[in-house]
Amino acid sequence: MNIHEFQAKEILRRYGVPVLAGGVAHTPEEAAAVARKLGGTVVVKAQIHAGGRGKAGGVKVVPSPEAAADFARGLLGKPLVTHQTGPEGRVVRRVLIESGCEIARELYLGVVVDRATGRASVIASPEGGVEIEEVAAKSPEKIFHESIDPLIGFAPYQGRRLAFRLGLPKDLVNKAAAFIANVARAFQESDAAMVEINPLVVTRTGELVALDAKVSLDDNALFRHADLREYRDEHEEDPRETAAAKHELSYIALSGNIGCMVNGAGLAMATMDIVKYAGGEPANFLDVGGGANTEKVREAFRILLSDTSVKAIFINVFGGILRCDVFAEGVVEAARQVGLGVPLVVRMEGTNVQRGKEILAASGLAIESAADMAEGARLAVAAAKRVRA
């Protein structure tokens, strides 16, 4: 689960990581009020779940409360397009107003899960602020890593080593080491999947501040963080993924036009592969799970059909725990209730498959039955092409 910058900073503040004073505003008037309270130069920042806001015109340093209100007015209620949002952008629903900061240097600090080592890894670079991906590609020697031992935790010497490598003056090394250790602790104790501070700045007066913060939390650990669950912002999520989560369906939206409904994650992956092999593009990954009932199948249908780019649906199930006849009844009922606006191809195998096929055939619905996965994928791809033509 991704969260907003101001929420990420709330977490960091609790772990003693220095962030600027600030407040969130939903209207231009609120923006002016926060700016007045802070006094002097402030920065107005669009709050969306995407980076690259600075370059896209979503961050501005302004001299007065009036200017803060003006800039907020230009952002609020409108989509902001950055290189991370896709062409449709994200609607800005609030802005963060923070005190202005005199920046001497911009550094990079991140904590991520490193799948190669199976550990969390702290990453730091003296080249912050700019595109860190570019630094990684062009000058990887400027990126430093420290792996966190899960038993020992982030060790003080690792913080000092990174601080030295950032090329900080001696009097800042201890401060930076403590800063990095606190960020590592925030990452571990919040069960984060990623924490990124870009830029971490050294101010003109020699302070270290997290000027930007991006935090992504591990969904599978949210059950033990009631406070962090509150940070969910459904506006920032794909509405179909939100609906799917409510019904305990694993659904991930993709960019193709063949809606896939499958039971079991492995079969779902294989289905996406075979759709591609047949020359099509899956519109989604959808695993209805082993214990799918009519209600789940109905919701899955609703979600697939609410995606206007879906031109055909390919159902591929293996009846193990879930019997084919029960599944077929679910499909027929769901198709009747939701209304089937696109061709439907079904491939079923497993327990009571004969009975399942009979139910589909007797339903009177325009369902194409496939003998195997390859044929199912071919039929679905052909059907989607017909619809488009």
Question: Could you confirm whether 349 is annotated as catalytic?
Answer: no
Our finding on whether 47 is near Mg ion (CB under 5 A) is: no
Give, in order, the Cα–Cα distances in Å from 80 to each of 3, 50, 58, 325, 365: 17, 10, 7, 48, 44
- The whole-angstrom separation of Cα 125 and Cα 107 is 6
Scanning 36-44, 69-77, 211-219, 332-340 for contacts with Mg ion by CB under 5 A, the matching segment is 211-219
Catalytic residue (one of 196, 236, 299, 329): 196
CA distances from 366 to 259, 336, 386 (A): 16, 11, 15
Cβ pair 33, 19 in contact under 8 A? no
Q: Which of 72, 95, 111, 211 binds ligand ADP (CB under 6 A)?
A: 211
Closest approach, Cβ 192 to ligand ADP, in A, equals 18
- 39: number of Cβ within 10 Å: 11
Nearer to Mg ion (CB atom), residue 8 or residue 324: 8
Compose the 114-153 pattern: x for residues touching ligand ADP by CB under 6 A, - for all others: ---------------x------------------------
Orientation of helix 294-305 relative to helix 324-338, angle to 10°: 50
108 is catalytic: yes
Does 82 engage in binding with Mg ion (CB under 5 A)? no
Exactly one of 13, 18, 33, 54 binds ligand ADP (CB under 6 A); that residue is 54
| Ramachandran sector of residue 123 (left: φ over 0; alpha: ψ -120 to 50; beta: rest) | beta
As measured in angstroms, the least distance from the Cβ of 173 to ligand ADP is: 23
Q: Which stretch binds ligand ADP (CB under 6 A): 96-104, 113-121, 147-155, 251-259?
A: 96-104
Residue type, 86: G
**Contact positions with Mg ion (CB under 5 A) in 159-198:** 198
- Length, in residues, of the chain: 389
Position closest to Mg ion via CB: 212
Question: Cα(329)–Cα(346) distance, rounded to whole angstroms?
Answer: 13
- The closest of 338, 370, 341 to 356, measured between CA atoms, is 370
- Asked if 174 contacts 161 with a C-beta cutoff of 8 angstroms, the reply is no
Closest CA to 8 of 220, 216, 282: 216
Check 5, 30, 98, 108 and give the catalytic one.
108
Footprint on residues 56-85 left by ligand ADP (CB under 6 A): 59, 61
Residue type, 287: D
Examine residue 7 and tell whether it contacts Mg ion (CB under 5 A): no
Q: Least distance (Å) from ligand ADP to the CB of residue 215? A: 13
Q: Look at residue 101 and give the partner it binds from Mg ion, ligand ADP, none, a contact being a CB closer than 5 to 8 Å depending on partner kind.
A: ligand ADP
Q: Does 195 bind ligand ADP (CB under 6 A)?
A: no
Does the protein bind ligand ADP through residue 254 (CB under 6 A)? no
Which residues, at least 6 apart from 72, have a Cβ–Cβ distance to it below 8 Å?
A: 25, 27, 28, 31, 32, 44, 95, 97
Instruction: Tell me if 89 contacts ligand ADP by CB under 6 A.
Output: no
User: Contact residues for ligand ADP (CB under 6 A)?
Assistant: 20, 43, 45, 51-54, 59, 61, 98, 100-101, 106, 129, 199, 211-212
Give the residue numbers annotated as catalytic, written as ranges. Answer: 108, 196
User: Contact residues for Mg ion (CB under 5 A)?
Assistant: 198, 212
